Amino acid sequence: MGRNCGCVVVRVLVTGCAGFIGSWVVEKLLGEGHEVICVDCFTRYYSVRLKEFNVRGFVSHPRFRLFRFDLSSASMGELVRLVSRVDCVIHEAAQPGVRSSWGEGFEEYVRHNVLATQRLLEA
């Protein structure tokens, strides 16, 4: 049983775990006793150091695992293996903001926000 929520402990995949929202989700899940598997590619859209700061408190936690890779370029086999190991997926990985959704940054925006989501759903 989870310590705080009274629910069964589950293995959760959190994508985008180094971002602002993702890191808070991880903290809450670990606090409730869940096992948390995380994926983040630590893009340079904003400070990588800030993202590393966001996960610093979890890296030594016994129920936390971090995989640093890009969902949009990982092999489908790798994604299937990852998803098959969890009970639940919380998908927070995305490039934040809308400014890059047009113009020069459009291709990267689509890769991180659309293609990564599509590939995760297919897995």
Write down the pLDDT at residue 5: 56
Kindly report, residue by residue over 83-100, the tens digit of the pLDDT.
999 999 999 998 877 666
Give a three-class secondary structure readout of 52-76.
HHHHCCCCCCCCEEEECCCCCCCCH
- Is 68 inside a domain boundary? yes
Contacts of 88 (CB under 8 A, 6+ apart): 10, 11, 12, 13
Q: Is the confidence at residue 1, as pLDDT, over 60?
A: no
Provide the residue range defining the domain that includes 23: 11-122
Q: Do the domain assignments include residue 103?
A: yes
| Total domain count, the chain | 1
Structure confidence at residue 2 (pLDDT): 46
Q: What is the pLDDT of residue 93?
A: 93
CATH (domain of 110): 3.40.50.720
In a domain, 89, yes or no: yes
6 assigned to some structural domain? no
Does the residue 113 lie in any domain?
Answer: yes
- pLDDT on residue 101: 67
3 in any annotated domain = no
Angle at 72 between CA 66 and CA 74, to 5 degrees: 60
- 1 assigned to some structural domain: no
Q: Is residue 65 part of a domain?
A: yes
pLDDT per residue over 5-57, tens digit each?
A: 566 879 999 999 999 999 999 999 999 999 999 999 988 777 889 899 989 99
